[in-house]
Amino acid sequence: MGEELNPNIHIGLIDHINFAIKRLQENIDIINPFLTETKIMYPKEYELAQEAVEILKEKLNIQIPDAEIGFIAFHIHGALKSKDKAVALKITKLVNNLIKTVEDELHIAIKRDSFDYVRFVIHIRGIISRLENDKVFENPLLDKIKEQFEFEFGLALKLGKIIENELKIKVPEDELAYMAMHIHKLKEI
């Protein structure tokens, strides 16, 4: 991946895999409510987790489900020296909450494999990353978007408040306008 991993990754990851294998042997379903978001937000980590699971499958003759691959991807993401697994989980939960809010407000179920869904999740992740790094895009169409997409901008304001409450970072209107445009696309699905 080109990034240095925390040398202690094996401790937590081995414990997690051991526990997962026991659950599988006992036919306990493994549910990962953040699987789709994990695949989108951490694709490199997910790919590496898939490779690890293939090795486990060959060595232990055990089928590990996608839900568990997502959890392994979290461990890998958390092992990146500059990353914190708890923060990654918090962001993923936040994105999941934002998506649920959009679905509730629009009275739709967004297909998790749709292009617009993936684009929206990536956009939210980008907003959060820019906010954390004090970088914000200026939106020259802000006033036009607020006027033309009034409902969508109102929903973006609501999502901005959720982000602010969770991360203690205010989302500027310029970013909310971009979010409103993505919400508009989701309405058209």
Per-residue pLDDT of the chain (189 residues; tens, 9 = 90+): 566 665 555 566 777 787 788 778 888 777 888 788 888 888 988 999 999 999 989 998 888 999 899 888 877 877 765 556 677 778 889 999 999 999 999 999 988 877 788 888 888 888 888 888 788 778 888 999 999 999 999 999 999 999 999 999 999 999 999 899 889 988 877
Token pair listed for 77: 């993401």
pLDDT for position 53: 92
Q: Which residues of 48-70 are buried (b: 16+ CB within 10 A; e: fewer)?
A: bbeebbeebeeeeeeebebbbbb
Q: Tell me the β-bridge partners of 5.
A: 80
Continuous segment of H or E residues that includes residue 27: none
Q: Kindly write down the DSSP assignment for every residue of 86-112, as one continuous string.
A: HHHHHHHHHHHHHHHHHHHHHT----T
pLDDT for position 30: 77
6, 79 Cβ separation under 8 angstroms? yes
CATH class of 85-187: mainly alpha
pLDDT for position 12: 66
pLDDT for position 120: 86
Token pair listed for 143: 């006033």
Domain ranges of the chain: 9-79, 85-187
Q: Does the fold of domain 85-187 match that of domain 9-79?
A: yes
User: What one-letter code names the amino acid at 132?
Assistant: E
CATH topology of domain 9-79: PTS-regulatory domain, PRD (1.10.1790)
Rounded to an integer, what distance in angstroms lies between the CA atom of residue 57 and that of residue 118? Answer: 29
Q: Distance between alpha carbon 95 and the CA centroid of its chain, in Å?
A: 6
pLDDT for position 172: 94
pLDDT for position 176: 95
pLDDT for position 11: 62
Rounded to an integer, what distance in angstroms lies between the CA atom of residue 163 and that of residue 143? Answer: 22
Quote the pTM value: 0.64
pLDDT for position 4: 62
Rounded to an integer, what distance in angstroms lies between the CA atom of residue 143 and that of residue 69? Answer: 43
Q: Is 27 left (phi over 0), alpha (psi -120 to 50) or beta?
A: left
